Amino acid sequence: MEAFVGVLGALSATSGSGSMVCVRIGHGKARPLGRGVESATGGYGMQRRARHRTSKSDALCMTSTDKERVQTANSGDSPMGEHSAETHGASGKEQGVSFEAFEARAAARSGVRLVPVWRRVFADQLTPVELFRCLVGEDEPHKHAFLLESAVTAGSGSVGRYSFVGADPVVEVVARRNQLTLTDRRDAAAGESSAVTRFEHEDPWTFIADFMRELKSADADELPESFAGGWVGYGGYDTVRYGEAGKLGFASAPPDDRQLPEMHMGLYTSSIIVDHFSKLLFIVEWVDLARHEHRLRSAYEHGMARLNQTVDVVMRRHLLSPLRSAFVELNTSGPARCASKFKSNMTKQQFLDGIDKCLYHIGVGDAFQIVLSQRFEYDSSVDPFSVYRALRVINPSPYMIYMQCEDCVLVASSPEILCKVSNRTVTNRPLAGTRWRGKTPAEDEALESELLADTKEIAEHVMLVDLGRNDLGRVSEYGTVDVVSLMEIERYSHVMHISSTVLGQLRDGLTSWDALRATLPAGTVSGAPKIRAIQIIDSIEPTLRGPYGGGIGFVSFQDSMNIALALRTMVITRAADGKAWKYFVQAGAGIVADSNPESEYQETINKSMAMARAIDLAEQSFGSE
């Protein structure tokens, strides 16, 4: 049971009881049809049990030498001086700031270039939202940064263990079709310009994978094992065209009316990890030894100086912009007021005509399922971070995302893993089949039974599980792909879904980047068979999908990956006047042979409502900028 962080701590979970039915899919093993599971198996920091390896010293403190170094690096008095060296145990200085430990980590493996230094700080005075505002002000929407969190599923009793915060990546890769822009700030001194290179490349994912082969990282068992630094960003739905250029070239894609990048990934050597279980912040800085000609003392001192700058920002608790407080007076489960002003990129008749075209292709055997979507837009003066704060209340999900990217801001509450790699185990989790939550436990159980008895929903889900098995089979060791859970019911704040989990062991010689390329986009946003379904979608939808239907998340320096499917995701750009914001919300419906066009159309409306309610709440609570 995991979440955005590679391991969000699901400290407890409950499972409902009920009858079990076995189903066999393809060549997989027979697995039970689960009933009443109240837990998320995806997110940025969930795990079944609280587990964290700590350093030899459990005390949070500094030596007097450390305090002098911080006071030298930062003007004025630092609140870090309140921590006394006497609180250290027999092991002396904490491992994260010990030069001896830094030296040992650098020597433990041959070829190491990246070595971390870190400090642990009490986490009971700053929330993740406040931490983000310590790094990024409201007047800095173009500053590239992220906040990744995980919420619980309704009634599970589990909690998200980790949240991740970061700003100012040292390297960025932005892809627009086959034109890549590489921005490298690693050698830029403070105030100097970055090195920017533009060039053609057939596949940005393979470029990043090759880039990382040079950056071998040291082991740091004391840090959270899921993520403590690495690549964070998104790859849009249309990045599938890089690996399938012959069948899905950009020339045959719908018009691109927003001109957003197909992909934006940033390399973050500085990050803050909130451990909600241990009540600690891990403030981490990775040092590239090659930038210091492998002179360890120079590298260590440079890393400590940068680390202490971030520590000082956190310890001072100075928010760059105020976080306004407000009452929540809106009915968070009611209809969204602003939805009546949403403008779609298709009329209702155009969407219904599109469904008819899908049904024709299904009828002649071109596809089994086609996921047709429509995109809504809405202008508002309320800022994206306020909408994210509202979305945390409206629709808590395993993947809560706020990300400031090139030319857009992404705000998401996704329930679904696109692809996850941990200890070379690859995870894919189809999530398809939906019912609203009941108003009472009895009604909830009745809706669950109805969902699991719906032959259309079951058929659709089985197709997507089989597609997930095929995707993982492309990158997994032979015979290791297995459906470990089939058709369990997961409950969220407003809806319940059918979910399944497919695992495989990553093949020798491959990395997380290969797994990501094999699974993008998920069958739940494209269809089956995937390539033909995308071709049909290209012929019907009027605009390029962009980030919607792609993946958002991270790949760590240790090649752990956790990428959420970009569902229930707002793509936000500046409006033409440069003041207001334009909110794009996209939702799709899986069309199969016995689909009811009117019901499928309404499904896309319903799926967009949580995003609309979040905008409503932000406008009511925080008003205009």
**pLDDT tens-digit readout, 285-298:** 999 999 888 899 99
Opening angle at CA 624, ends 545 and 571, nearest 5: 10
Q: 176 pLDDT band (50/70/90 cuts)?
A: very high
Contact 232, 130 (CB under 8 A): no
Q: What is the pLDDT of residue 491?
A: 84
pLDDT in tens, 35-62: 443 334 567 665 433 333 333 333 333 3
Q: What is the pLDDT of residue 4?
A: 47
Q: What is the pLDDT of residue 437?
A: 83
Contact 481, 472 (CB under 8 A): yes
| Placement of tokens 């006394």 in the chain | 84
Q: What is the mean pLDDT of residues 258-263?
A: 97
Peptide bond between residue 169 and the one before it cis (omega within 30 degrees of 0)? no
Reported as half-sphere exposure (CB side, CA atoms, 13 A), residue 359 has a value of 12
Q: What is the pLDDT of residue 289?
A: 94
Contact 291, 214 (CB under 8 A): no
Residue 19, pLDDT > 70, answer no
Would you name the residues annotated as active-site residues?
497, 524, 548, 568, 590
What are φ and ψ of residue 190, in 5° steps?
-55, 130
What are φ and ψ of residue 349, in 5° steps?
-65, -40
Would you tell me how many other CB atoms lie within 10 Å of the CB of residue 33? 19
The four Cα atoms 511, 517, 518, 521 give a dihedral, to 10 degrees, of: 140
Q: 306 pLDDT band (50/70/90 cuts)?
A: very high
Q: What is the pLDDT of residue 189?
A: 59
Contact 88, 61 (CB under 8 A): yes
Residue 506 per-residue DSSP state: B
Q: What is the pLDDT of residue 140?
A: 94
Q: What is the largest CA-CA distance in the chain?
A: 77
- Alpha carbons 322 and 581: distance in angstroms, whole number: 20
CATH code matching the domain that covers 97-424+506-622, chosen among 3.60.120.10, 3.40.50.150, 3.40.50.850, 3.30.1330.10: 3.60.120.10
Q: What is the pLDDT of residue 359?
A: 97
Helices in 88-234 by DSSP H: which ranges? 99-108, 128-135, 204-212
Structure tokens at 407: 């030319």
Structure tokens at 218: 């040291």
- Alpha carbons 501 and 146: distance in angstroms, whole number: 27
Candidates 269, 271, 310; CA nearest to 286 is: 269
pLDDT in tens, 318-343: 999 999 888 887 777 777 888 888 99
The larger pLDDT score, comparing residue 369 to residue 80, is at: 369
Contact 25, 462 (CB under 8 A): yes
Residue 294: left if φ>0, alpha if ψ -120 to 50, beta else—which one? left
User: What Rg do the C-alpha atoms of the chain give, in angstroms?
Assistant: 24
Contact 551, 565 (CB under 8 A): yes
What are φ and ψ of residue 62, in 5° steps?
-140, 150
- Alpha carbons 553 and 44: distance in angstroms, whole number: 8
* Sign of CA pseudo-dihedral 220, 221, 222, 223: positive
Q: Which residues contact 249 (CB under 8 A, 6 or more apart)?
A: 241
The four Cα atoms 388, 394, 400, 402 give a dihedral, to 10 degrees, of: -10
| E strand or H helix at 415 | none
pLDDT in tens, 405-452: 999 999 999 989 999 999 999 999 988 888 888 889 999 999 999 999
Q: What is the pLDDT of residue 240?
A: 96
Q: Which residues contact 406 (CB under 8 A, 6 or more apart)?
A: 144, 172, 174, 260, 261, 264
Residue 159, pLDDT > 80, answer no
pLDDT in tens, 185-235: 988 755 567 899 999 999 999 999 999 999 999 998 899 888 999 999 999
Q: What is the pLDDT of residue 152?
A: 64
pLDDT in tens, 454-465: 988 898 899 899
Opening angle at CA 92, ends 87 and 95, nearest 5: 105
Can you list the positions of beta strands (E) in 104-208?
114-122, 145-149, 162-167, 171-176, 179-184, 195-200
Instruction: Name the amino acid, one letter, at 6.
Output: G
Instruction: Name the amino acid, one letter, at 57.
Output: S
According to DSSP, the residues that pair with 196 across neighbouring strands are: 183
Contact 359, 372 (CB under 8 A): no
Q: What is the pLDDT of residue 490?
A: 87
Q: What is the mean pLDDT of residues 104-109?
A: 92
CB burial readout 111-126, b (16+ within 10 A) else e: ebbbbbbbbbbebeeb
What are φ and ψ of residue 102, in 5° steps?
-60, -45
pLDDT in tens, 197-210: 999 999 999 999 99
Candidates 562, 168, 536, 169; CA nearest to 401 is: 562
Would you tell me how many other CB atoms lie within 10 Å of the CB of residue 446? 13
Contact 484, 472 (CB under 8 A): no
Can you list the positions of beta strands (E) in 526-616?
527-528, 551-556, 561-565, 569-574, 581-591
- How many residues would you count in the chain? 625
Instruction: Name the amino acid, one letter, at 103.
Output: E
